[in-house]
Chains A and B, each alone.
Chain A
Amino acid sequence: MEKALKKWFPVFVLPTLAAFCVGFIWPFIQGIYLSFCQFITVDNAKWAGISNYVKALSDETFGDSFIFTVVFAFVSTILINGIAFAIALALTKEMKGTNIFRTVFFMPNLIGGIVLGYIWQILLNCILSNLAQPLLALNSTAGFWGIIILMCWQQIGYMMIIYVAGLQNVPPDLLEAAAIDGANAIQTLVKVKLPMLMSSFTICLFLTITNSFKLFDQNLALTAGEPAHATEMLALNIYNTFYARSGPQWKGIGQAKAVIFFILVVVISLSQLYATRSKEVQQ
């Protein structure tokens, strides 16, 4: 069969491969090359060595947005997973209306980041103005917590669904055995359920951390980095370097930042996957 199929390469693979080259492989390679150049469009690139990287790393806004992103990723990952897991535990108990609650909690996940950001901007500004606090555009603390609340609202439902699926997959005979051995609810949770759920934790932690690092739409729509770049995350910082600054040097620096960002995301994802995978138990 392999032989018969082989000559059908142009029909089966070529469309995807061509699009993949145009949409990913070529831009990726060109992106790495351009990060070593000074350019405004791709035609007038001049080799500039590593100077873009030096300038990118010495750009203060980049460092600030890096710290902001790391703190944000840390706080949001803990909050989202903690709350999502607690809700998942409660909703797998016998209770009226669990299905409706799951439906409701999951819903925000389907709404796009730009719309979400706009909705929450109106809501948070209303709360802030009623509390006589400065509005989001002038209030970086509120901006930070605003994005956190927004991301919690969007992602808790999603993570909850993954945890619920994990909890439902815990074999009932294990729970029975634990009950016969006299384990109480907390012991069952810590000694039986948690180890069985390690793969769910891997997935959820992976998703929340990478989502936090790659966050763009919500950041743009809710605060747009205001006030004065104080709530600007890495992805938005790169975007602004490309499109909001004038001067021939900035595109090259932006591309260098993008490469650094890419390496950062890969390293974080891989190390995180490795760390939690090693703790998983074999079922």
Chain B
Amino acid sequence: MNTKQKNMWSNIGTVFFTVLAALWMYPIIMVVMNSLKVERAITTDAAFALPTAETFAGLTNYISALGAQGFLKSFGYSLFITVSSVFLILLCCSMCAWYINRVNNLISKLMYLLCAFSMVVPFQMVMFTLSQTADRLDIFGLKFNTPWTICFIYLGFGAGLAVFMFSGFVKSIPLEIEEASMIDGCSPIQTYFKVVLPILKPTMISVGVLETMWVWNDYLLPTLVLDIKKYRTIPMLIQYFRGSYGRVEMGPMMACIVMTVLPVVVIYLLGQKHIIKGVLAGAVKG
């Protein structure tokens, strides 16, 4: 192939993939389009139609979604649960992974094997018993079926992947660095926070990305653990309104979806490099 032919093929490729990428984005564009239409214009037949002067609704759907539909509250719950769970998972699991790799005893080995095992177990296996446990567990009046404490359940069920991934990385840290800090008089806690944690940072980001994606999008676990009448995360809210509550107001629903997808897309575009790296690391380890 000469250069001219090569150029031609590369141009054809670019055109082909531009069309494909546009198609790929279409479902999201369609929702954005519909979120700007008035209620009666969002029908099954006309979902593809662009909003016209008559059917254009401006931001009314968004205002209604934010107010009446409780989107803001759900967004708050989702945000709090995600941030608290991911923080707890990152901190506790990295500490745990460091310990079980440095202290060589039966508990460490068992813990590692159980974590690896838990990654294969489908959620349906523990779905019922976990929700019952979460409902009943009561430690000095501390319940685990509220948005404020559900992070503990997430720590439990998410520990497998996190401990496993951190372990893989801890193994590659040379022991000498930690020993040096211990000899210099650091306690294990100081060693961990001043020496190990900074080295673990890239893995922290990878695990953080994976766990954030999981917790933010999770539907089944919060549905089973939380009281749906009181607390709804975003996936719960969307499923709840579509469920058995008669006719759904489509306009505000579309606005809800746009406002759910938008932050994810923005964060993805900003932190693309880290996110793709995190996902790759998770895939390779899993």
Contact = CB atoms under 8 A, between A and B. Distances in A.
Interface of A: 1-2, 4-6, 8-9, 11-13, 15-17, 19-28, 30-31, 34, 41-42, 90-91, 93-97, 100-101, 103-115, 118-120, 122-123, 125-126, 129-130, 135, 153, 158, 161-162, 165, 203, 206-207, 210, 213-214, 216-217, 220-221, 234-235, 238-239, 242, 251, 254-255, 258-259, 261-262, 265-266, 269
A109 B25 CA distance: 12
Given A27-B133, A111-B217, A123-B47, A19 B153 contact: yes
Given A23-B159, A153-B24, A265-B120, A111 B189 contact: no
Contacts of A101: 17, 20-21
A161 B130 contact: no
Nearest to A96: B14
B178 to A, nearest CB: 6
Report whether over half of chain B's contact residues are helix, strand or loop; otherwise say mixed.
helix
A84 B21 CA distance: 14
B160 A24 contact: yes
Nearest to B212: A110
Interface of B: 6, 10-11, 13-14, 17-18, 20-21, 24-25, 27-28, 30-31, 34, 44-48, 92-93, 95-96, 98-100, 102-105, 107, 111, 114-115, 118, 120-130, 132-134, 136-137, 144, 152-157, 159-160, 163, 175, 178-179, 182, 187-189, 192, 213, 216-220, 234-235, 238-239, 242, 253, 257, 260-261, 264-265, 268-269, 272, 275-276, 279-280, 283-284, 286
B93 A16 contact: yes
B31 A119 contact: yes
A213 B124 CA distance: 11
Given A24-B118, A161-B280, A235-B124, A113 B219 contact: yes
Contacts of A207: 283, 286
Contacts of A106: 276
Contacts of B220: 216-217, 239
A118 B99 contact: no
A33 B185 CA distance: 49
Nearest to A6: B103
Nearest to B137: A22
B159 A31 contact: no
B284 A203 contact: yes
Given A8-B188, A96-B10, A113-B217, A16 B128 contact: no
B189 to A, nearest CB: 7
Contact of A242 (B100, B111, B127, B280): B127
Contacts of B130: 23-24, 27
A8 B187 CA distance: 10
